[in-house]
Amino acid sequence: MPSKNVKKILFVEPSNVIQKKLALSLANESFEFRAVKNADQALVAIIRWHPDILISSIEVGNITGFDLCLIIRMMPDFVGMPIILFSSSDPKNASQKAEDVGADYYVQKDEKGISSLNRIITDILHVPEASLLPSDEKRPIRTVLLVDDSVTMRKIIRNILLGIGITNVLEAHDGVEGLQLIKTEAIDLVISDWSMPRMNGLEMVKKIRTNSQFDSIPIVMVTAEVEEEIQKAMHLGVNDYLRKPFNPLDMKKMIAKFTECATEK
């Protein structure tokens, strides 16, 4: 049985030759591989096997790798799974389309692209050290408070946090519930939506920052608001923000600005 530290990588590639090249390029005792030939098989494997990363060709049968990526991004349990798309088509157009459908990376299907996958996977699984704060300013994350009225969004962010080793995630439906949890639990980081019923994210931030007991807790706002509103939130005590839509790597880099994640200890 594979170790819990082994990362599962699913290839979606109709060519046996390319499958073998991928496996050889990524040969590593920390990786476990599984290969399928089309999008239908990929969806079954995702549900049954729960891979940590998906690497998919764009040419995968009746539906394209772009379509497969869109489908996965609409599946709450897997929407946070990192996806790498690769193709032999025009790199400029394919790269933009891959970004539009929510893929984390796009590489060309050639020797250079395949050989770059080790670096890309390292970027996905391990937050770059350059984005971390100096060691004397970092604090370990043990408990994250996730405040959002959307069950789907909470599940997406929870999955991303689990992927970087943060397992203790508390959830609140709005600012009122969020404040209650802050008062009763030891919270190391707050990730909050802006628009919520009863008490929105900005109102919650104001109350947190007026209490000296909690005013040092880092707060990240997830929002689709315009720049002026975001700047207002920063002045009121939000440490940083993520614009919707965002991908898993954006979230990982954001969290790394404030602390050492569990996987980096």
User: Which of 125, 149, 174 is a domain's end point?
Assistant: 125
CATH (domain of 32): 3.40.50.2300
Q: Does residue 122 have a pLDDT over 50?
A: yes
> Per residue in 21-37, is it b (16+ CB within 10 Å) or e — as a string?
bbeeebeeeebbbebbb
Q: Cα 151 to the chain's mean position, in Å?
A: 16
List pLDDT tens digits, range 19-74: 888 888 888 777 899 999 999 999 999 999 999 899 999 989 888 999 999 899 88
Give CA–CA dist 119/54, Å, rounded: 15
Report yes or no on 1 lying in a domain: no
Do 106 and 188 belong together in one domain? Answer: no
Are 31 and 61 found together in one domain? yes
Same domain, 141 and 64: no
The two beta strands, 189-193 and 144-147, are parallel
Tell me, yes or no, whether 113 and 140 share the same domain.
no
- Residue listed under structure tokens 């999008």: 39
Which structural domain, as residue segments, surrounds residue 178? Answer: 131-264
Looking at the predicted structure, is the pLDDT value of residue 194 above 70? yes
Q: What is the pLDDT of residues 60-102, one digit of tens each?
A: 988 899 999 989 988 878 877 889 998 887 766 787 788 778 8
Q: 4 pLDDT band (50/70/90 cuts)? A: low
22 shares a domain with 100: yes
For residues 121, 127, 130 and 131, what is the CA-based torsion angle, rounded to 10 degrees?
A: 140
Q: How confident is the model at residue 131 (pLDDT cuts 50, 70, 90)?
A: very low
